[in-house]
Amino acid sequence: MLNTFLNKFPVFHSGKSRLTVVFFLLCAFFSSASLAAEVTREQIKGIDEQVQDIKKDVLELTTELTRLEEKLLFPSNTQVSLFVSLKGDRDFILDSMQIKLDNKVVAQHLYTYKELEALRAGGVQRIYTGNIKTGDHALVASFIGRTKSGNDYQRSETFTVTKAVGPKFVEIQITGDSASDQSLSFKDW
Amino acid sequence: MLFRFIIILTAMLCSLPVYAASGLKNVELHDLYFGEVLYYAYQDRPFEALARLDNELSQYYELDERELDSLHFHLGQAEFSVGDLELQYRMNQRAGKAIQAVLGDGLDLATRNIAALQLARLYYRKDDPESTLYALDLIRENPDKSRYEEKYSLDNLRGKPPETFKTDVAYLRALALIDTGQFSKAVDILQELREEKSLKGFVLYNLGIALIQSGREEEAMAVLDELGRLDTDDRALLALKDKTNLKLAYRYLDRGDAKKAQMYFERIRLDGPFSNRALLGAGWVAAAQGRFDRALVPWSILHKRSVTNDAVQEALMAVPYAYSKLEAYGNAANLYDHAMDVFAAEIDSLDSSIKSIRKGRFLTALLNEKADKDKNWVVNLRELPDTPETRYILELMASNDFQEMYKNYKDLAELRHHIDKWLADLRVFEEMIEIRRKYQEPLLPVVEEQFKKIDARVKLRLEQRNNLASKLKNLLIAPRPEYLATATERQALDTVMALEEIIKARPEAVDAQTLEKVRRMRGILLWRVRSEYDQRLTDAYNNLIALDRDIDKMKLRYNSFIRTRQAATQSYEGYTIPIRQLRTRLFAAQRKLKGTMAKQGRMLETMAINELDRRRKRLEEYQIKARFALAENYDRATKAQFDEELMRQRKLRGEAAEKQAQDAAKETAPENAPADTPQAPDEKSSVEEAPADRPAVKKPSSFKQKLLSP
């Protein structure tokens, strides 16, 4: 078939030209073949393993980089971390939180549905990590929330954070038996 | 293959609630950072959760006294959660190792059982049913425990009741048995699970499959029929029910039992995902019975639906076919003509889709932010704008392989983002370190100098305090009132002693009265010092305690200063090499990621192009068939017109001959012969009246052009 094709075009009669044509035809064949190639299960499995390797590498790097970041930005002698937990009525809907430390707003957060569900399930949100000097500091936590029926209300509480030499952790708990009456409490860790 | 896909789908569906109620639930919290891990895990953000958990665990294992760390209370859960989260993050290799490690530990029976179930699920996802069965065999019930205790311990597992755990185990075992060809055993297990509400539809479907595979076809049909009649509002079950009815209908259609096939087709919802194929099948049932007018009813509904659907494209050919069978050749020809126009347009659209995919727009569309809003990625993809990149490939997108690859591609895109962010952060860290170095380096020597002086004073004062404390302690053992005399008293005593010395040296110079005065003065002083000794000693202790409070404050400030001074040095020292190493590793990971992402992207593109190419070839086949059918119907329509005209002319000639004969008989009337040439047939008359629900078509024209076109 190739000979028939070549014989139709006298310009390709010489041996060198024939080789060139064969080369181009082979190239064309393989390029078209590669485009139409099916993706095999082995290929899928192979690439999946490569992806898993990359995930492993990036997770390891993230662990090291997080520690470096913490050491660099929040040394333990000045570090303070504030956590929010929700232990109250399931019908209570937390909309937002605001944290003031030494009369300065350091964190504000609006909650998504997923975040709220995670808090309800027992997750704890680290809302702020920063640096403060040793000694006493005024912490004011406020929230805006509502009941399922849509009655909005807000609460605010003050707490004194006593910072010593080591890192300081404070848990801000939202608790209460009724969705319409949730209150704030603090736990010094 | 299809059965396999359904089994995988059901296994995945059944595992969803398990992941949602992951092994991390109902944890009493002792460690705030572990609580943060849960916060991300519960939001289905396994990367964030894993990164934090790895960090916490690595810090924990570096400690000397681990039992003092608050994570110690959660260690078992944390170790187990690593595997659980890795599984969610589709890191099957590492998850398997993590879960196996938990199985090897001396954990409680309940956690071990859950770990074994997770491992079994992992093997099943990896398409390894033998290992799935092996892992399921690791699940043990402690014979020493009473029924209540066993229930209690299982009840604690992820907040799930023990019945659900046992059901999950049994169901997974049945699926693995089907995959290993042990259909009879699978049937036995699935029969026991038939009444299980949470798995109702899936159990019936798999039971039907197992029965078919074990050669009990009639029983299988009865089971599948039960599923096909299931009363449910659940969307997933409704889809499974439709699919089962569709399969049953086609099975009976293949057997030639049109009546039963019709019954099953009629059970399928008209707005469900299988409605198009059901309408097509219902039409074919009627066609198989030779009732093409009836076949036109479902096909005409289908004819109006989105032309990208396979069944709709087939209906575009089926409707004119039915008209042709009803001898409405004109209508058939028009509809074939319409179909050819649609196919030509769709082939152009497919060509542009393929071109667009080759330009990389498909991958861009896959990473569209809109596709990231919901966990249900297939729904998201359906919501993507109808661009050339995503048309025609929704079915492909729903396939398991594509889904896995798409998730991997999205994960890689996220990892790329993380790496880019860290690389940018490292640049900021370096800048920050440099600023700190420039600020701290000149300051530190001056601070150090001042600190040395203060340090010496602090040490002196502390020594003084210790001396005082030591003296007070001695006073308790050997009272020395004079030690607690006031300065005035001590001065007065010194004066008295000096006077006594003078009197002793020159007694003649002092009279008796003066002598008495000096003696009384000494007496008063000693009386005061000795009588007030206890009170003075108490006051001294109180003052020492007050001093200690001040000293504590001073020590706090002193230690704080020491740490701050240390932190100031550490804020810029010792980072250069770690940052350089981390950057090198980040670049290496970035290179690896780019290469893998490109490969993964090419595979997705290839799959999409292959799918589009397959659809294109099919449309080309339809086009060829339509062209021939059009020509045939055109010929038939023309022949019908010609026959009709011929008949009309024969009739006219007959009438004329009759009239001529009558005229000749009369011999009085003038001859009026009819025209020789037949009148051209009215074009409109060749086209039959279409039924009321006939699909809209373009004006009939250019049949010959179509026929002559390549």
Tokens of B122: 């992992």
Mutate to test the interface with B, among A55, A111, A128 (most CBs of B within 10 A): A55
Q: Are residues A47 and A139 in the same domain?
A: no
Contacts 24+ apart (CB under 8 A), B375-382: B375/B44, B377/B403, B377/B406, B377/B407, B378/B403
* pLDDT on residue B380: 52
pLDDT surpassing 60 at residue B697: no
Helices (H), B21-138: 32-41, 46-61, 75-88, 92-104, 109-125, 129-137
Contacts of residue B180, Cβ cutoff 8 Å, sequence gap at least 6? B129, B130, B133
Q: Are residues A66 and A84 in the same domain?
A: no
Q: Which domain holds residue A36?
A: 2-72
Helices (H), A113-163: 113-120
pLDDT surpassing 80 at residue B253: yes
The reported pTM is 0.69
Q: Could you count the other beta carbons within 10 Å of the beta carbon of residue B23?
A: 24
Domain limit, last residue, from A72, A87, A114: A72
Domain limit, last residue, from A14, A46, A72: A72
Q: Is the ipTM of this complex over 0.90?
A: no
Q: Are residues A172 and A101 in the same domain?
A: yes
* pLDDT on residue B359: 83
> Which residues in A lie closer than 8 A to residue B600 (C-beta atoms)?
47, 51
- Alpha-carbon gap: A50 to the closest alpha carbon of chain B (Å): 7
Say whether residue A69 is in contact with chain B using an 8 A CB cutoff: yes
3-class state of residue B25 by DSSP: coil
DSSP 8-state secondary structure symbol assigned to residue A1? -
Q: Are residues A166 and A150 in the same domain?
A: yes
Determine the average pLDDT of the residues in B633-658.
Answer: 84
Q: Could you count the other beta carbons within 10 Å of the beta carbon of residue A153?
A: 13
CB A80 within 8 A of CB A186: no
* pLDDT on residue B389: 55
Domain limit, last residue, from A72, A92, A119: A72
CA distances from A2 to A12, A17, A25, A26 (A): 11, 13, 10, 11
Q: Which of B35, B70, B412 sits opposite A85 (nearest CB)?
A: B35
Say whether residue A81 is in contact with chain B using an 8 A CB cutoff: yes
The alpha carbon dihedral of B584, B589, B590, B594 has a sign of positive
Q: Are residues A139 and A106 in the same domain?
A: yes
Q: Are residues A35 and A90 in the same domain?
A: no
> Which residues in B lie closer than 8 A to residue A31 (C-beta atoms)?
none
Ranges B16-20, B219-223, B601-605: which has the least confidence: B16-20
Q: Are residues A94 and A169 in the same domain?
A: yes
* pLDDT on residue B5: 42
3-class state of residue B40 by DSSP: helix
Q: Which residues, listed in sequence order, are joined to residue A144 by a DSSP beta bridge?
A: A96, A154
Closest alpha carbon to B206 in B7, B392, B31, B456 = B7
What is the per-residue pLDDT across B453-487, written as a single tens digit (0 to 9) for each? Answer: 888 888 898 999 999 899 888 888 888 888 888 99
> Which residues in A lie closer than 8 A to residue B605 (C-beta atoms)?
none
* pLDDT on residue B591: 95
Q: Answer yes or no: do B91 and A117 touch at CB < 8 A.
A: no
What is the per-residue pLDDT across B565-589, written as a single tens digit (0 to 9) for each? Answer: 887 888 888 898 999 999 999 999 9
Instruction: Assign B272 a pLDDT band (cuts: 50, 70, 90).
Output: confident
Tally of domains in chain A: 2
CATH number at residue A106: 2.60.40
* pLDDT on residue B594: 94
Q: Which of A43, A63, A124 sits opposite B51 (nearest CB)?
A: A63
Q: Which of B47, B563, B596 sits opposite A77 (nearest CB)?
A: B563
pLDDT surpassing 90 at residue B700: no
pLDDT surpassing 90 at residue B423: yes
- Alpha-carbon gap: A129 to the closest alpha carbon of chain B (Å): 12
Ranges A127-141, B55-69, B599-613, B686-700: which has the least confidence: B686-700
Q: Are residues A151 and A127 in the same domain?
A: yes
Q: Which of B38, B51, B415 sits opposite A54 (nearest CB)?
A: B415
Ranges B170-179, B496-505, B688-697: which has the least confidence: B688-697
* Mean predicted lDDT score pLDDT of chain A: 81
Tokens of A163: 């910072």
Q: Answer yes or no: do A35 and B609 touch at CB < 8 A.
A: yes
Q: Are residues A38 and A91 in the same domain?
A: no
Instruction: Assign B96 a pLDDT band (cuts: 50, 70, 90).
Output: confident
Percent of chain B with pLDDT over 90: 18
Domain positions in chain B: 1-180, 457-574
Which residue is listed with tokens 């990149």?
B389
- Alpha-carbon gap: B462 to the closest alpha carbon of chain A (Å): 21
Ranges B297-301, B385-389, B428-432, B664-668: which has the least confidence: B385-389
Tell me how many degrees the CA angle B458-B459-B460 measures, rounded to the nearest 5: 90
Say whether residue A68 is in contact with chain B using an 8 A CB cutoff: yes
DSSP 8-state secondary structure symbol assigned to residue B581? H
Say whether residue A188 is in contact with chain B using an 8 A CB cutoff: no
- Residue of chain A minimizing CA distance to B402: A44
Q: Which of B32, B43, B433 sits opposite A189 (nearest CB)?
A: B32
End-to-end CA distance of chain B: 38
Q: Are residues A34 and A50 in the same domain?
A: yes
Closest alpha carbon to B91 in A64, A56, A47 = A56
Q: Answer yes or no: do B39 and A125 touch at CB < 8 A.
A: yes
Instruction: Assign B369 a pLDDT band (cuts: 50, 70, 90).
Output: low
> Which amino acid, B600?
Q
Adjacency order of strands within the sheet including A104-110: A104-110, A93-101, A135-146, A152-163
The Cα–Cα gap between B646 and B638 comes to: 12
Tokens of A131: 């640096």
Q: Answer yes or no: do B585 and A57 touch at CB < 8 A.
A: yes
> Which amino acid, B258?
A
* pLDDT on residue B690: 39
Tokens of B346: 């769709």
Kindly report the CATH class assigned to B1-180: mainly alpha
Ranges B125-134, B273-282, B675-684: which has the least confidence: B675-684
What is the per-residue pLDDT across A126-152, written as a single tens digit (0 to 9) for each? Answer: 999 999 988 899 999 999 999 888 788
Q: Are residues A42 and A107 in the same domain?
A: no
What is the enclosing helix (H) or strand (E) of A104? Answer: strand A104-110
Closest alpha carbon to B199 in B172, B162, B176, B224 = B172
> Which residues in B lie closer than 8 A to residue A48 (C-beta atoms)?
90, 404, 408
> Which amino acid, A112?
T
Determine the average pLDDT of the residues in B674-694.
Answer: 40
CA distances from A113 to A182, B109, B409 (A): 19, 35, 26
